Amino acid sequence: MFVRSVMAAAVAAFVAGQASAADKIEWNASLWGNPRAVTRGMEAVAKFVEEKSAGNFTIKMNYGETLSAARENIDGISLGAFEVGQMCTSYHPGKNPLGTVLDLPFLPLPTFDVLVKVHDAFQNYEPWQKELSRWNAKAWVTAALPQYEFMGVGKPPRELSDWASMRVRALGGIGEAMRKLGSVPTTVPAPEVYTSLERGVVQAASFPYSYTFGAYRLHEIGKWFTEGLQPGSQHCPFILSQGAYDSLPAEYQQLLQDAIPVNYKALGNAYEEADKKWIPIYKANMEVVTYTEEQHKEFKAKAAEPVWNDWVDANKGKFDSRAVLDFVLKTAAEAAGK
């Protein structure tokens, strides 16, 4: 009751303080980690908004969990503590179960362009918008994280059986996929992964390939990494405070919409630059683990549709989970031109 009362008061305050385009408005964005490829999109958005508003509307990047812990950004948005929050649905699936559909493993998102089209369409999907509204949150853009891979220590998992009993950092649906292979998944937040791998808490970690391994320095202790496994991605949107958005003048609301393609273009360029930098470093210092077409088929048979069906069954009492999954698969097929 206290949380909801505070939220209501925050929303009322925003609405009461309706701004005009002549006012100086500074928003705060809550992020974790240091500036890296995944933050380049939001950094480009902030620059775009500032330039187009002649400096009257700014978005300040607050890195390193200085405003909120990574798992609590959705709560901060709900309370009106800041206006933009980076989040990953797999960090708190109980708070946003519908949004975890994009965390499912082996979804047919073979290229970055297809992934962007699907994730972007999902931000406009009414059921997802409705789920976020319970947190005073507005869907906006995503970090469009590229397909994940694994990096680890110890024996390289060249056969599917090698994953059995391995402790892995794997979130959401990717974690469930690895569980189907006999692994023991854990949802360690990104800033804690280096220490977990170094101390042997986990033997392998999944991250967006390739920039994240370098951003969190896992290549300094890793002995091997997978390439071409593509077990899935994660749904990590940037959400807005609905109250703060509603209090903006119409011109600035439109700026935020105009900035959406700016975000995705900057991300695509950043991921491409990161690949050119990091992949040669990884290959020069670690073993590369690849899988045959038959092994890929075996992975998917054991860990794709079975996990999708489990997700549908687990959520069908909360919302029309089959319809949500079908929306994602249909959008992916259309995006890929199938």
pLDDT tens track for 114-151: 999 999 999 999 999 999 999 999 999 999 999 999 99
Confidence of residue 171 (pLDDT cuts 50, 70, 90): confident
User: What domains appear along the chain, each with residue ranges and CATH number?
Assistant: 2-145+235-273 (3.40.190.170), 148-232+286-335 (3.40.190.170)
Q: What angle do CA 38, 116, 95 make, to 5 degrees?
A: 70
Predicted pLDDT at 4: 38
- Cis bond upstream, residue 210 (ω within 30): yes
Q: What percent of the chain has pLDDT over 90?
A: 89
Of 278 and 20, the structure prediction assigns the larger pLDDT to 278
- Could you give the CA distance from residue 218 to residue 107 in angstroms, rounded to a whole number? 26
Predicted pLDDT at 7: 42
Contact 299, 229 (CB under 8 A): yes
Tell whether the model's pLDDT for residue 29 goes beyond 90: yes
Predicted pLDDT at 20: 58
62: β partners: 30
pTM: 0.86
